C-alpha cells in the first residue's frame, strides 16, 4: 500500500499524464508545491516500488499498477469533492478538506459515500430536503 504522500504523487502524476501526456519533475513539484529535489527522491521510490518507470532524461511513465492506482485515487478525490458539494460545504473549503481526509478513509467508506452520493443524485427532491434542514439549522444559529 502506498503511503499518503506516495498517494499524492501518484494522483498528481496520473492527472498530469491525462492532461498533458507527460509528467515532468518540475510540473509535479509545482502541482504539489514541493521542491524538485523532493520530487526526484519520491519518484525514485515510486520506481523502486514499481508504480512507475523513471529515466532521468526521458521522463517517467506509470506502470500498469501505477495507472490502476492513479485512476482510483483520482476517482476517490473527485467523489469526495462531489460529496462535500452535495452536503453543502462552502466551495472555497472543499479542495483542502478533501486533501485533508482522502488518505484516511477506507475503501469501504469510499464505496458507501458513493452510495450516498448516488442516493441524492437519483432524486433531486432528496437534495432539496437536505437543503431545507440546513436552512433551518442556519436560522437557529448553527454556524
Ligand atoms: Mn487529492
99 is in an annotated binding site: yes
Helices and strands: H and E segment counts in the chain: 7, 2
The answer to whether the CB of 40 falls within 8 A of the CB of 54 is no
In order along its 143 residues, the chain shows pLDDT tens digits of 788 899 999 999 999 999 999 999 999 999 999 999 999 999 999 999 999 999 877 789 999 999 999 999 999 999 999 999 999 999 999 999 999 999 999 999 999 999 999 999 999 999 999 999 999 998 987 65
18 is in an annotated binding site: no
Q: 141 CA to middle of ligand 1, Å?
A: 32
pTM: 0.88
pLDDT at 59: 81
Ligand 1 ion: Cβ-proximal residues, 5 Å cutoff: 77
Amino acid at each position: 500500500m502506498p503511503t499518503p504522500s506516495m498517494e499524492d504523487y501518484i494522483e498528481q502524476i496520473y492527472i498530469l499524464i491525462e492532461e498533458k501526456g507527460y509528467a515532468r519533475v518540475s510540473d509535479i513539484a509545482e502541482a504539489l508545491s514541493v521542491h524538485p529535489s523532493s520530487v526526484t527522491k519520491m519518484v525514485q521510490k515510486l520506481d523502486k516500488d514499481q508504480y512507475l518507470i523513471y529515466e532521468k532524461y526521458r521522463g517517467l511513465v506509470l506502470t500498469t499498477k501505477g495507472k490502476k492506482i492513479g485512476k482510483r485515487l483520482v476517482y476517490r478525490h473527485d467523489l469526495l469533492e462531489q460529496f462535500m458539494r452535495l452536503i453543502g460545504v462552502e466551495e472555497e473549503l472543499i479542495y483542502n478538506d478533501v486533501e485533508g481526509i482522502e488518505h484516511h478513509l477506507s475503501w469501504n467508506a469510499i464505496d458507501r459515500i458513493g452510495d450516498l452520493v448516488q442516493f441524492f443524485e437519483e432524486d433531486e427532491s432528496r437534495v432539496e430536503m437536505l437543503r431545507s434542514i440546513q436552512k433551518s439549522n442556519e436560522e437557529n444559529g448553527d454556524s
